Amino acid sequence: MPNWSEVVLEIQAIEQAQMGVNPFDVVRKKYLSKIHQITGRNVIAYYSGWLQKPNFANTQVNDKDKSGFMLAINKLDKSKGLDLLLHTPGGDVAATESLVDYLYSMFDKDIRVIVPQISMSAGTMIALSSKEIIMGKHSNLGPIDPQMNGLACQAILSEFQYAIEDIAKNPSSAILWQTIISKYHPTFLGACKQAIEWSDRMVSAWLNYNMCEGEPEKVKTILKAFSNHTEQKSHSRHIPKKECIELGLKIIDLETDQELQDAVLTTHHMFFHTFNNTTAIKIIENHLGVAYFENHAAITPQKN
């Protein structure tokens, strides 16, 4: 399979030979189809262009994504299961829950997630709902601790608890803590607690249902590691394949199948080329060439 530079040459060759044809679409679909040929399974790529276009909205998981998945899943043979290529910074938890419920209704437990590079936050939640995750040495998942206004809910609750303890020991610190804690509105702490409980309950249910069925202690270990802000330190931490395996996740090494690895990474390169050279900021696309695009200014479902 071609590397990054060789893919560019393939794009340029199509551009020169076929006037009026979008070479990025042609080459991207070629390699998505190649993944299907190798696995014999349905393939859907869910790709965000947040790395190339960090200042644009709608690059995160949101409720509009379900429309893209409905388009991509329509007319697929559901009995062949689903291989879902994920590249996302994460996003809305409610939208994530709804999307996973929809995927279960279509494919039940027969869902594998392939992470070519990064699937963070809500993207990791989706990965944890699958029966197994295919990762390479370059692949990363991320913590799933809920965030509120860009702040870790667990960190907020910890800070508040520390304030209570500090004031009890040193009453003169109350004035200082009043200034710090006053930035939170009255219902904010309750909302943070509920967000943590909701996220943990949701991911725990998915792990128990699919990847870790019949292994409740393993579920607790995985959930504790991925949802613990104190342990992970940052919501943006990249958790590598080796650590995912050690925690008990069912991980398949992408490197064990050279043909599949080449097809996955070439497809990954093609999505990056597409984001770099078009107005697309998010793409949901299946191996048949049915694609849903979100662009800078508009949402455009397409079937090519």
| CATH code assigned at 92 | 3.90.226
* Cα-Cα-Cα-Cα dihedral sign, residues 87, 60, 231, 213: negative
Query: Where is pLDDT greater, at 299 or 241?
Result: 241
Average confidence (pLDDT) over 58-76 = 95
Point out which residues pair with 302 in neighbouring strands: 291
280 in the same domain as 248: yes
91 in the same domain as 22: yes
Contacts of 3 (CB under 8 A, 6+ apart): 269
Average confidence (pLDDT) over 118-143 = 95
Average confidence (pLDDT) over 81-97 = 94
55 in the same domain as 105: yes
138 in the same domain as 26: yes
Q: List the alpha helices (DSSP H) in the chain.
A: 4-17, 23-39, 65-73, 93-107, 122-128, 153-169, 174-181, 188-209, 216-227, 229-232, 241-247, 258-277
Query: Where is pLDDT greater, at 114 or 57?
Result: 114
Point out which residues pair with 299 in neighbouring strands: 294
State pLDDT tens for residues 178-214.
777 777 776 777 777 777 787 889 999 999 999 999 9
Domain-ending residue, one of 196, 217, 235: 235
218 in the same domain as 92: no
DSSP state of 88: B
200 in the same domain as 246: no
Instruction: Specify the number of domains making up the chain.
Output: 2
Domain-ending residue, one of 235, 269, 291: 235
Domain-ending residue, one of 191, 213, 235: 235
The pLDDT, as a whole number, for residue 152 is 66
Point out which residues pair with 158 in neighbouring strands: none
> In terms of residue numbers, what domain contains 74?
1-142+238-304
Query: Where is pLDDT greater, at 285 or 196?
Result: 285
154 in the same domain as 138: no
Question: pTM for this one?
Answer: 0.86
- Residue 250 has which token pair? 């069912």
261 in the same domain as 191: no
How many helices and strands (H and E) does the chain possess?
12, 13
pLDDT at 112 over 90: yes
For the chain, give the mean pLDDT: 87
